[in-house]
Amino acid sequence: MTSGIARRALAEFLGTGLLVTVVVGSGIAAQRLSADTGLRLLENSIATAFGLGVLILLLGPVSGAHFNPVVSAMNAILGRRDRTGLAGLDLLVFIVAQILGAICGAVLANAMFQLPTAISTTNRATPGTLLGEVVATAGLVLLIAGLSRARATLPQIAAAVGAYIGSAYWFTSSTSFANPAVTIGRIFTDTFAGIAPASMLPYLAAQLVGAAVGIGLILLLFPPPPTVADAQATVVPSDLEEAS
């Protein structure tokens, strides 16, 4: 592994880990401070929205601040045509770093609140919540890729993604996990933000479907600009026609 990919993988490990620490830690604090479930969700969503925005601003210049396997996969797929996306091995390294970071983030949050690291017993998978995950993930992929193709600045992307996740806590039935690594990490806390292992695979499947929908929408709404090769392929026949 080169120093460049190692540095970027470390940023993805830290970013995903701290994101899960924010999600789980604010969930534990909300559970302790508030008796009302709606108020707990409000506290959890506000902390997550702000925390995610900060992490994107901090680590975006290092790794692109994916913190999410579906975002990394989207980057690899959409960037394949002009070779700007992650290569196969780099994509694998990113995903492993994100998953390990998410697990460590949950363990850290538990430790800060003096709770044991325990497997969650919160079952979340229902037809409605799985549809919510499809919607949440498709929207996230569409937002990130759309802003990137529109050449939005890093602060604009950080604000928009944080705002989207904060609002998706409320408008989706699943409270918008929208992230396979975060979903896996949240198995390791039996608290407000946890998810039982039995719900993990259905959630991951719904997130993959949502990612595919989001990528499809990007291709329809934001077609990539022509490459140099495409431009040459268009110009050369025209010149030949004129010469003849």
Asked if 56 contacts 157 with a C-beta cutoff of 8 angstroms, the reply is yes
**Number of separate domains in the chain:** 1
What confidence category does residue 1 fall into, taking pLDDT thresholds of 50, 70 and 90?
low
CA nearest neighbour of 178 among 202, 207, 201, 198: 207
The residue type of 167 is S
Report yes or no on 216 lying in a domain.
yes
Report yes or no on 233 lying in a domain.
no
Distance CA 62, CA 243 (A): 50
Report yes or no on 175 lying in a domain.
yes
Burial of 115 (0-12, 13-18, 19+ CB in 10 A): middle
pLDDT at 137: 98
Q: Give the tens place of pLDDT for each residue, 219-244.
A: 999 987 665 555 444 444 444 344 43
Asked if 92 contacts 12 with a C-beta cutoff of 8 angstroms, the reply is no
Helix axis angle, 69-78 relative to 127-149, nearest 10°? 50
Report yes or no on 12 lying in a domain.
yes
How far are the Cα atoms of 9, 12, 49, 100, 233 from residue 186, in angstroms, in the given order?
21, 17, 17, 12, 50
pLDDT at 85: 85
Report yes or no on 237 lying in a domain.
no
Q: Give the tens place of pLDDT for each residue, 20-65.
A: 999 999 999 999 999 999 999 999 999 999 999 999 999 999 999 9
Token pair for 141: 């992929």
**What is the pTM assigned to this prediction?**
0.90
Provide the residue range defining the domain that includes 146: 3-224
| H-type alpha helices, 79-225 | 88-112, 127-149, 154-171, 180-185, 197-221
Q: Is the sign of the CA dihedral 18, 164, 118, 206 positive or negative? A: negative
* CATH for 87: 1.20.1080.10
Q: Give the tens place of pLDDT for each residue, 106-153.
A: 999 999 999 999 999 999 999 999 999 999 999 999 999 999 999 999
120 sits in the region (left: phi over 0; alpha: psi -120 to 50; else beta) called beta
Report yes or no on 238 lying in a domain.
no
Report yes or no on 146 lying in a domain.
yes
| Residues in contact with 157: Cβ distance below 8 Å, sequence separation at least 6, in sequence order | 56, 60, 144, 147, 148
Does 93 score more than 80 pLDDT?
A: yes
Report yes or no on 107 lying in a domain.
yes
Token pair for 65: 């601040």
